[in-house]
């Protein structure tokens, strides 16, 4: 956990990457794309805790079709900034088999976590598994999974805000920032 004074300094020195108005427009656009694609599917929407809570909370009210909502909690990071072994903390309670599933997450970084989530859902019998991310980071190499719906594209920097954190801080920001020098 980043102490409050250090967290404020990180924000004060950070570069604004995605302004609040751009983030809000990206959510509206993605909601329209999802509505066009899944309006007749009565999908199960799974939010990936905890990063996706901001994106999911803004996205769901814009989807004007029936859906079932649940969540999952899986991580490779814990309290670190580099990915490790995948850890399933909470599995979805809803029935997966035979369903169209939409996984909602904050960022598609290396793609290892989302690839594992998609693989597991398909193994559990999902008939279709789509992925919506607020941000897709350009890491300069191929990823094991691609998002079907993307809000914004980000440079390969350490970003925070709009659900993404910097050492536990600033998930609550309505815009996206990059740590200075990273």
User: What are the pLDDT digits (tens) for 2-24?
Assistant: 899 999 999 999 999 999 999 99
Mean pLDDT of the chain: 94
**Active-site residue, selected from the candidate residues 106, 109, 136, 165:** 109
pLDDT for res 123: 96
Q: How confident is the model at residue 182 (pLDDT cuts 50, 70, 90)?
A: low
Residue 74 is given by DSSP the state: E
Is the torsion defined by CA of 130, 133, 138, 140 positive or negative? negative
Could you say which of 3.40.1160.10, 3.40.50.2020, 3.40.50.2000, 3.30.1330.10 is the CATH number of the domain covering 18-156?
3.40.50.2020
Which is nearest to 62 in space by CA: 32, 41, 40?
Answer: 32
| pTM, full prediction | 0.93
Residue 82 is given by DSSP the state: S
- For this structure, is 109 an active site residue? yes
17 burial (CB, 10 Å; 0-12 / 13-18 / 19+) is: buried
User: What tens digit of pLDDT does each residue of 51-87 get?
Assistant: 999 999 999 999 999 999 999 999 765 554 555 577 8
């Amino acid at each position: 956990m980043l102490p409050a004074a250090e967290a404020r300094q990180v924000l004060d020195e950070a570069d604004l990457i995605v302004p609040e108005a751009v983030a809000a427009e990206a959510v509206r656009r993605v909601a329209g794309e999802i509505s066009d694609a899944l309006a007749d599917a009565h999908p199960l929407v799974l939010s990936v805790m905890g990063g996706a809570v901001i994106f999911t909370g803004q996205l769901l009210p814009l989807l004007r079709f029936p859906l079932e909502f649940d969540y999952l909690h899986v991580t490779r990071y814990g309290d670190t900034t580099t990915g490790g072994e995948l850890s399933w903390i909470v599995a979805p309670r809803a029935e997966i088999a035979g369903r169209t599933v939409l996984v909602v997450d904050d960022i598609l970084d290396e793609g290892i976590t989302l690839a594992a989530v998609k693989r597991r859902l398909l193994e559990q019998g999902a008939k279709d598994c789509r992925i919506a991310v607020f941000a897709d980071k350009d890491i300069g190499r191929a990823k094991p999974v691609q998002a079907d719906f993307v809000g914004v594209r980000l440079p390969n920097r350490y970003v925070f805000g709009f659900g993404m954190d910097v050492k536990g801080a600033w998930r609550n920001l309505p815009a996206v920032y990059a740590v200075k020098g990273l």
